[in-house]
């Protein structure tokens, strides 16, 4: 955080995921954090859009399973989606059933923080996120980043 805000004037609270809880519980954890946004608190959740180190390291194009998962993510949370709040929530809570999910995330721990972020960011009247960036590393690792409550530039 000190790299992006050396003044250290933004509250930071570290929250861990719980491997015994499902996606719904982590979405609800995010919802519990939502009121902090009204106090000008920045909520950052780590994790990765795709994260499968077993897939090897390559400088070639992203494999189909990785691009398919990011397309699903865009279609589910980004502004281009026409899904309602409850539709998005339901789809996100079942993310492990997406055909490319097991390849994109062999274990849920690298995506579960993103589920909490979705819970913290989505609002009933404004459920859509803005996709801030994309990009790929080692062939299959997506750096897609999303934010809620920002204006498209």
CA distances from 98 to 3, 30, 41, 94 (A): 35, 21, 32, 8
pTM exceeding 0.75: yes
Q: Scan for tokens 């519980």, then name that residue.
A: 25
Predicted local confidence at residue 92, as pLDDT: 94
Query: How many other CB atoms are there within 10 angstroms of residue 125's CB atom?
Result: 6
What gap in Å lies between CA 49 and CA 146, rounded to an integer? 10
Higher pLDDT, 11 or 71: 71
What domains does the chain contain, in order, with CATH numbers?
Answer: 23-44+60-147 (3.40.830.10)
Q: What is the mean pLDDT of residues 117-132?
A: 90
Instruction: State in Å, rounded, how far the first CA of the chain is from the last one.
Output: 24
Each residue of 58-110: pLDDT tens digit?
A: 777 889 999 999 999 999 998 767 888 999 999 999 999 999 999 999 999 88
* Length, in residues, of the chain: 153
Q: What is the mean pLDDT of residues 23-44?
A: 90
Predicted local confidence at residue 39, as pLDDT: 83
Name the pLDDT band for 152 (thresholds 50, 70, 90): low
Name the pLDDT band for 151 (thresholds 50, 70, 90): low
Percent of the chain residues topping a pLDDT of 70: 97
Q: Using alpha carbons, select from 123, 105, 135 the residue that is nearest to residue 23.
A: 105
For all residues of the chain together, what is the average pLDDT?
88
């Amino acid at each position: 955080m000190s790299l992006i805000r050396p003044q250290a004037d933004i509250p930071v609270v570290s929250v861990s995921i719980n491997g015994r809880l499902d996606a719904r519980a982590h979405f609800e954890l995010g919802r519990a954090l939502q009121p902090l946004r009204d106090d000008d608190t920045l909520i950052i959740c780590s994790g990765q859009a795709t994260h499968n180190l077993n897939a090897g390291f390559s400088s070639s194009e992203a494999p189909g399973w990785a691009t398919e998962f990011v397309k699903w993510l865009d279609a589910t949370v980004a502004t281009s989606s026409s899904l309602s709040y409850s539709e998005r929530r339901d789809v996100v809570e079942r993310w492990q059933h997406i055909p490319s999910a097991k390849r994109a995330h062999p274990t849920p721990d690298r995506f579960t923080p993103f589920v909490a972020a979705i819970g913290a960011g989505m609002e009933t009247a404004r459920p859509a996120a803005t996709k801030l960036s994309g990009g790929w590393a080692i062939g299959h690792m997506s750096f897609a980043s999303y934010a809620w409550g920002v204006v498209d530039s």
